[in-house]
Structure 1
Amino acid sequence: MKIASVPLLALLSSVAIAAPPALTPCPDKPNCVSTEASGKAQMAPIPFSGTAAEAQDALRRAITALPRSTVTRDEPGFVAAEFRSRVFGFVDAAEFVIDGDARVIRFRSGARSGHYDFGVNRERMDALRAALSPAR
């Protein structure tokens, strides 16, 4: 059996390294918050300790602990979820990127319909931040 000799650089350049998914931008409506937004829609990312996988597990548990929540996508470094309002069943969609290098969770959470959300998405992200913060 003959094994071809391939330079290491050529081999490494042929391996695709997937970039983390980009967060969907917030629309120009007051019903969305994001770590990537500016102005009133902006929120700080959620810091974490431990590994990115541990942070993702904790995030998944915190999401599913919230009422009327569903994780819709879960892959290494990325989680998507939906949250339904109690009375009318409106859906808010959230995306989370676990940034292991910066040790933060970046996110975007917004209403799928309507114009105002009465601060619900900001409150939900604050609740997730509190749930993921280490006990003091």
Structure 2
Amino acid sequence: MNKHLIRLPLFSLSIMLFGCSNADSVNIANRTGLPCNDKPNCVSTIDERAEYSLDAFNLSEAGLDSWPQIEQVALALPGARLGERAERYIRVECVSSVFKFVDDFEVHQNGDMLEVRSESRTGYSDFGVNRERAEAFRQQLLEAKLIAP
């Protein structure tokens, strides 16, 4: 009985402390120019390692001056909410529907290319979710004729 009386307050304290942590209040600098770390929960157009690499996003003639439309495509991704916006840069926080995990989806226009990076904030593997998100973004940009095939 005494063991349970000790465990209950410890468990309650743990829950309260965990509940006070806020993954939403993260200030993340533009990381589109950085390769992914070594966890399989990130993809990037900058990273040259096959398991982390995304094919280039080459802007079409129409896409060169269409940054507002590119932003709108990013913000239309499932679970998307604006995290940060700067000149020709956007960070979208994509929240999973079930467990509410937050992934950072970043896009930066660098000349005639888009640098794209999608990474999970927590966990080890993302089971391919970030790659699927980046490829869905690519498909939407292709359909809008904002990037070249």
Write the distance in 2 (CA, Å) between the matches of 1:73 and 1:98: 15
Q: Percent identity?
A: 34
Instruction: Write the deviation string for residues 71-108 of structure 1: whole angstroms up to 9, x where unpaired.
Output: 222222211111001100000012211022xx111111
What is aligned with 2:42?
32
With normalisation by structure 2, the TM-score equals 0.68
- Give yes or no for contact 1:48–1:132 (8 Å, CA) kept in 2: no
Contact 1:63 1:70 in 2 (8 A): no
More helix by share: 2
After TM superposition, the score normalised by the length of structure 1 is: 0.74
Look up the SS of the partner of 2:38 in the other structure: coil
Please list every run of at least 4 consecutive aligned residues from structure 1 whose deviation after the TM superposition is greater than 4 angstroms.
none
Count, aligned residues: 113
- 1:45 Cα shift? 2.2
User: For the residues of structure 2 that align with 1:117 and 1:68, how far apart are their CA atoms?
Assistant: 15
How far residue 39 of structure 1 moved from its aligned partner, in angstroms, is: 2.5
Q: Aligned-pair distance for 1:22?
A: 5.1
**RMSD of the TM alignment (CA)?**
2.0
Superposition deviation, residue 53 in structure 1:
4.0
| Structure 2 CA distance for aligned equivalents of residues 72 and 126 of structure 1 | 20
After superposition, the C-alpha distances for 1:18-62 in whole angstroms (9 at most, x for unaligned) are xxx5524311110000011122101112122235441x2122111
Does residue 58 of the first structure (1) align with residue 54 of the second (2)?
no
What's the offset of the Cα at 1:111?
0.4
Q: Does 1:47 align with 2:62?
A: no
